[in-house]
């Protein structure tokens, strides 16, 4: 991994930090993000010490609005000439409903719309660095969703924190599978990694997907651990629902938050297949 650059969102603690530690120890240049500047700086110092090299960088990112994600992508693109692996690690769950400045329900914004905006803005760098990889970390909670995940998308009629979080994770898996199909011709492999295990075990799955030669040509799969591709729900395998999730992201990330004169569907860059 000595010639590779990896970006991990929300990696100043927990599973994300463990993932960053393992990849840095393999020699990768690792970029971590987080909302707390002091915690991020401490994490970067810890990682440099553990890995015994200085190719660890912290970028502070509020990560709430779509603009925050696009600004992060712009910062990364300016500072680093390549990006081999993007790990969308941030996941949230809120007990009470609230909306971001973009007018989106916060769980949906943080777990789905933000990663979509960030990924699209980083696509030119990922494609330039191909073969490259995207890993979307999520949990198996999506399997508990029985109703239409596209109904009441902003949870205005009814809000239950656990249900809204699980729904956002189902949409995240659907979006992951749609993204995998769209990017495979470009040499970008896209997979999902389960986060329900212990921190150590969950980090091992992301490290495997980021660094091993085995999944280099695997895309559109959900991994429970490094040795097992999990069986997801029938709904997540539905191609029509995958496209609905993609279209939902494209529509909601284009509303109001697209700067005047910017390309439709993304603030920093636009790929030709959009």
In a domain, 260, yes or no: no
Q: How far is CA 214 from the centre of its chain?
A: 21
- As averages over each run of 10 residues, the pLDDT of the chain (274 residues) reads 95 96 98 96 97 97 94 97 97 95 96 97 97 92 76 94 93 96 96 87 94 90 84 80 96 61 34 36
pLDDT tens digits along 202-213: 899 999 999 999
pLDDT tens digits along 109-136: 999 999 999 999 999 999 999 999 999 9
Query: Residue 235's domain is classified under what CATH number?
Result: 3.40.50.720
In a domain, 273, yes or no: no
Question: What's the CA gap between 246 and 244, in Å, rounded?
Answer: 5
In a domain, 176, yes or no: yes
Domains in the chain, number: 1
In a domain, 272, yes or no: no
In a domain, 271, yes or no: no
In a domain, 102, yes or no: yes
In a domain, 39, yes or no: yes
In a domain, 266, yes or no: no
Backbone angles phi, psi at 168, to 5 degrees: -65, -30
Q: Which domain covers residue 96, as residue numbers?
A: 5-252
């Amino acid at each position: 991994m000595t010639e590779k650059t990896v970006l991990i969102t929300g990696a100043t603690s927990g599973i994300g930090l463990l993932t960053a530690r393992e990849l840095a120890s393999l020699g990768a240049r690792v970029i971590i993000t987080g909302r707390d500047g002091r915690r991020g700086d401490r994490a970067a110092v810890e990682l440099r010490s553990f890995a015994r090299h200085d190719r660890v960088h912290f970028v502070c990112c509020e990560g709430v609005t779509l603009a925050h994600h696009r600004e992060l992508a712009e910062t990364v693109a300016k500072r680093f000439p390549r990006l081999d692996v993007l790990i969308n690690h941030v996941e949230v769950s809120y007990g009470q409903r609230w909306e971001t400045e973009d007018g989106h329900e916060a769980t949906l914004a943080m777990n789905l719309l933000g990663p979509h905006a960030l990924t699209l803005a980083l696509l030119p760098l990922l494609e330039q660095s191909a073969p490259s990889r995207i890993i979307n970390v999520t949990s198996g909670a999506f399997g508990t969703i029985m109703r239409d995940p596209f109904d009441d998308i902003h949870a205005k009629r009814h809000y239950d924190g656990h249900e809204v979080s699980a729904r956002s994770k189902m949409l995240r898996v659907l979006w992951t599978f749609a993204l995998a199909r769209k990017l495979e011709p470009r040499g970008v492999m896209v997979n999902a990694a389960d986060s329900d295990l212990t921190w150590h075990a969950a980090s091992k799955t992301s490290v495997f997907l980021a660094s091993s030669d085995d999944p280099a040509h695997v895309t559109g799969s959900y991994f429970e651990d490094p040795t097992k591709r999990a069986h997801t729900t029938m709904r997540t395998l539905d191609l029509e629902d995958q496209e609905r999730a993609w279209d939902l992201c494209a529509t909601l990330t284009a509303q109001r938050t697209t700067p005047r004169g910017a390309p439709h569907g993304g603030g920093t860059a636009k790929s030709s297949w959009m």
